Amino acid sequence: MISFKQAAIAAVATALLAGYSVSAGAVEWRGWNIHKPDYPNTVAMDKFAELLEEKSGGEITLKMFHSGTLGTQPDAIEQVRIGALEIGNFNLGPIGPVAPEANVVSLPFIFSDMDHMHRALDGEAGEQISAGMAKKGLVALAWYDSGARSFYNSKKPIETPADVEGMKVRVMNNDLYSGMISALGGNPSPMAFSEVYQSLKTGVVDGAENNWPSYESTGHYEVAGYYSLSQHLIIPECVCINAQVWESLSDDQKAIVKEAARESAELQRELWAERAKASREKVLESGVQFNEIPDKSAFQDAMKPVYDTYLADNPDLKPLVELIQSSN
């Protein structure tokens, strides 16, 4: 066990190496977030920063950079892994290519609803996912909600997999999502979040997929007016910290940082539920054509190749897939 003093020296050394400001044992971290100012995650990450400073008596401060100003999500994940940034609010989707355990949440329809996802993340599956991420330099401090993702496009309602045939659909950077679109007969187009609005507008892509709050906050609903409730992915998000920075903290500091992250997650989940409703109402009022897909089995059946690929690449993760499926 290293002492508090050694840990403090290590923290300061890490801080000095990383080139951020340090005063008498105090550290200033930098945090990445992709969302706009009033988004639930943004408000919750600001709360996290506030709580960190308060609980640590000013020893730890966090400067948040919102709206993706520090770069794309895959880049930011790398930055936090190598310690160029300390903190990020990441969707587990783009973490999947880095940490196979985390990629399990990107298997389409693996969660039947939000409760199922919460149960899995709060239990043994969540521990395995966290351990896999920590091995890759990302320590998950808390989980944020991100609802269910559904398809939207500028052409027509999606009611059956055949409706996706031939459509160009933007996905996040992750081969599982490309496989998902291909399995439905569409053409996947991996692309940064910030480029999707323009691509939808100019017809570079026909559609994309996301939850209600992101569909609304980005203005995608203005240029892709058909939203079809496929709910094919329920992907949680993390508040993640660089593993070395985490290890440099004392036990007391670790407790403070975790508590602050967990409290911010409670706030985020409340704000998320409210925003999901408000965003849905806003886009429907604006004239978006919305359809439910009462029987999703044709979509679910079509996903077999995605599961097969994941399990062929990660045969050792079959028990994790089964663990999640059995806690349904």
Residues that bind ligand BDP (CB under 6 A): 34, 73, 91, 146, 172, 193, 210-211, 214
Residue 303: φ, ψ to 5° = -85, 0
Cβ distance to ligand BDP smaller for residue 93 or 161: 93
Q: Sign of the C-alpha dihedral, residues 80, 42, 247, 250? A: positive
Cβ distance to ligand BDP smaller for residue 106 or 250: 106
Task: Provide, rounded to whole angstroms, the least separation between the CB of residue 295 and ligand BDP.
Answer: 25
Cβ distance to ligand BDP smaller for residue 11 or 265: 265
Cβ distance to ligand BDP smaller for residue 106 or 242: 106
Cβ distance to ligand BDP smaller for residue 59 or 145: 145
Residue 286 tokens read as: 């604006």
Task: Provide, rounded to whole angstroms, the least separation between the CB of residue 310 and ligand BDP.
Answer: 20
Burial of 210 (0-12, 13-18, 19+ CB in 10 A): buried
Task: Provide, rounded to whole angstroms, the least separation between the CB of residue 34 and ligand BDP.
Answer: 5
Task: Provide, rounded to whole angstroms, the least separation between the CB of residue 91 and ligand BDP.
Answer: 3
Beta bridge partners of 91: 237
What is the rounded CA–CA span in Å between residue 59 and residue 5?
Answer: 14
Helical ranges in 19-64 per DSSP H: 40-55
Task: Provide, rounded to whole angstroms, the least separation between the CB of residue 217 and ligand BDP.
Answer: 9
- From the list 323, 327, 328, the residue with the least C-alpha distance to 101 is 323
Burial of 182 (0-12, 13-18, 19+ CB in 10 A): middle
